[in-house]
A and B are shown apart, each in its own frame.
With several copies, the nearest count.
Chain A
Amino acid sequence: MQPTPHDPSPLALLETMMLIRAYEEAVAGIAAGGSAPGTCTSVGQEAAAVGVVRALAHEDRILTNHRSAGHLLARGADPGRLLAEVLGKRTGYCKGKSGSLHISAAELGVVLTSTIVGGELSLAPGVALARTMTPGDEGIVATFFGDGAACEGVFHESLNLAVVWKLPILYVCENNEWQAFVHRRETMPMAHVRDWAASHGLIAETVDGNDVAAVHAAASRLAARIRETGEPAFLETLTYRTRGHYEPDDQAYVDPGELAAWRARDPIELLANRLRLAGTLDDLRLAQIRARVLAAIDEAAAFANASPYPELSELVTDVYA
């Protein structure tokens, strides 16, 4: 039903972004109903997620954070098992023990998700180190984090170690202008995290995070360079969190003008319009895609809802290996 993880055709990227949007809106609906409280959606940031994840190879590893649905779905995660996890069901990727905030899926190469802001940054060098010490392991490590995570000291510790030890890490900072209920402008003297990253002496770029093609191109270029040199690189996707920090959130603290301006640059519409102009998309085709993703999400919701909760005996398992 979904495109395979590594089909980079524009239509495939579009369908994946639409799948993520539909998934997140479904989650928001569930949360509005009182379930899955505290879920953080990535609405508005789909291009930043899809553009990078689709630039990665099968053998690469991904570390992500609390706002991970886009990364997971772009990587080919089953929306049913994701929703099941969000609802704390036994069939979720983490048996319901994680819930929405730290979903890992080792089978997809999405490892060690932490909802501690900066957690993924502290773990990524070790994942990359293991790869450099494993003969024949060519994979790189992509770690996703926000502008807020860059304010944690461990961001700098992580970049410095990756540079000094030459670790193959693609640092992907999703700068969505928000750090929970605080605007990025209140927490940093400059507009871009890139300035901090560059001081560590690694390649550091920014890209329009709402333009999936631009993100995909930049991420592909940097990923290739990391494979070639074995050294880390930093990519900042400039985007915006158009829903609240978590569900539900009335966004009363958000400047309506800023929000409207970014909504006008919706990444899905940007790509759809471009494809329309290019003649590769028309209303019928778009409707077909929308129908497919909605059907996929309906199916996922049905699966998640029908899934059982874990046995109470699960409370004390998976603590020690």
Chain B
Amino acid sequence: MSVITVNEAITQALAEEMRRDPSVLMFGEGVATKRANLVAEFGAARVRNTPLAEGIIAGTAAGAAASGLRPIVDLLFAPFLCFAMDEIVNSAGKLRYLSGGQFKFPMVVLAMTGAGWTVGAQHNHNLEAWFVHSPGLKVVMPSSAADFKGLLKAAIRDDNPVLFFMDLALGYQAGEVPEGEHLVPLGHAATLREGRDVTLVSYAKTALHCVAAADALAQQGISAEVLDLRSLKPLDEAAILASVRKTGRVLVVHEASRLCGVGAEVAALVAEHAFAALKAPVRRLTGPDVPAPSSWPLEQAFVPQAEGIAAAGRALVEQREYA
């Protein structure tokens, strides 16, 4: 085990996979400038700056992926994906199917999002649910350095388009990462805390807020299980259902807005397939359905925090209505 930051974990994953497979390359606005270490080791052909044009960056990745390369593109911030939706959704997500399976699209799209930098809704918009809703794509959004490394390596090896979202508040967070080859397969949730009374389901930074909430609840004699989804598509339905069947209560937490979010999917899944086990209503605690504000106190209020999560979890266990 060594302790490294999330940003270092990402750098390790990129370097290890480029070393391992010459078909892996990376490009985007400032990629070569910001990743001089990769340029130095792998050369300018495999680590490129691009013109400022997300559409052609993503489209070029899709075309290259279908032609034998394994591109990784950095689109910087999630809202900029709005300029690349056709290439990601209509091309990378659909052309395998529409061609009857003639092509595959092994590519990774990196994007940062989430509160913490006070840059507002055009840099901070948690839109992972869009891609979960779209066919042919996979979606990952980790919370720990180890998972950033292991899931990014697995995403690069995946033969399908993977949206890899990075919660920017986590970049400098350090964590233990196993030495040597460390892969985390897509589609598996992680249990961050075992518990009996309520399951807190989350991902990205709010998964850590859930752990803090679970600690607070433990003080109050409530045993909360914390599930970190890690992969949003494929979603680890078995792990979610198993935990809820054990605890009988579920609170889904994320920063993204509520309507048609990942929390809606998890809540619906539970209400559909673990209904008999439910001792209380399914609950969601999410960011508000508003653009992300810049002002620091507003931005912090935007994010579900440990206190609120603990309070909601407690209300759930005590069967009280809770706004």
What separation, in Å, do the CA atoms of A93 and B103 have in the docked complex?
13
Q: Smallest distance from the beta carbon of B95 to chain A beta carbons, Å? A: 6
The answer, yes or no, to whether B311 is at the interface (CB within 8 Å) is no
Most A CB within 10 A of own CB, among B46, B53, B67: B53
- In chain A, positions 24-52 with a C-beta closer than 8 Å to chain B are 36-38
Q: Smallest distance from the beta carbon of A248 to chain B beta carbons, Å? A: 13
Report how many A-B pairs have Cβ atoms within 8 Å: 262
List, in ascending order, chain A residues with CB within 8 A of B103's CB.
Answer: 104, 106, 111-112
| Interface residue range, chain B | 35 or more
- In chain B, positions 20-57 with a C-beta closer than 8 Å to chain A are 25, 29-30, 33-34, 45-46, 48-56
What separation, in Å, do the CA atoms of A148 and B33 have in the docked complex?
16
The answer, yes or no, to whether B221 is at the interface (CB within 8 Å) is no
Q: Smallest distance from the beta carbon of A49 to chain B beta carbons, Å? A: 20
Partner of B97, one of A160, A182, A319: A319
List, in ascending order, chain B residues with CB within 8 A of A125's CB.
Answer: 56, 59-60, 63
The answer, yes or no, to whether A98 is at the interface (CB within 8 Å) is yes
Partner of B25, one of A98, A133, A310: A133
Interface stretch of the complex, out of A2-10, A149-157, A263-271, A286-294: A149-157
B29 touches A122 (CB 8 A): no
| Given contact pairs A94-B102, A95-B101, A126-B65, A112 touches B118 in the complex (Cβ within 8 A) | no
Partner of A89, one of B34, B91, B99, B295: B295
Question: What are 30 residue pairs bridging A and B, where the CB atoms are less than 8 Å apart in the complex?
Answer: A88-B118, A88-B293, A112-B91, A112-B103, A114-B122, A115-B122, A116-B83, A116-B122, A122-B91, A123-B59, A123-B62, A125-B59, A126-B63, A129-B63, A133-B46, A134-B68, A149-B52, A153-B56, A161-B50, A161-B51, A161-B53, A179-B52, A180-B29, A181-B34, A182-B49, A314-B293, A316-B288, A317-B101, A319-B97, A320-B96
A96 touches B294 (CB 8 A): yes
Closest to A36 in B: B118
Partner of B106, one of A88, A92, A100, A321: A321
A319 touches B96 (CB 8 A): yes
- In chain B, positions 277-306 with a C-beta closer than 8 Å to chain A are 288-291, 293-298, 301-302
List, in ascending order, chain A residues with CB within 8 A of B63's CB.
Answer: 112, 122-130
Partner of B293, one of A96, A123, A158, A188: A96
Q: Smallest distance from the beta carbon of B179 to chain A beta carbons, Å? A: 31
| Given contact pairs A88-B296, A99-B120, A102-B98, A123 touches B91 in the complex (Cβ within 8 A) | yes
Q: Smallest distance from the beta carbon of B257 to chain A beta carbons, Å? A: 11
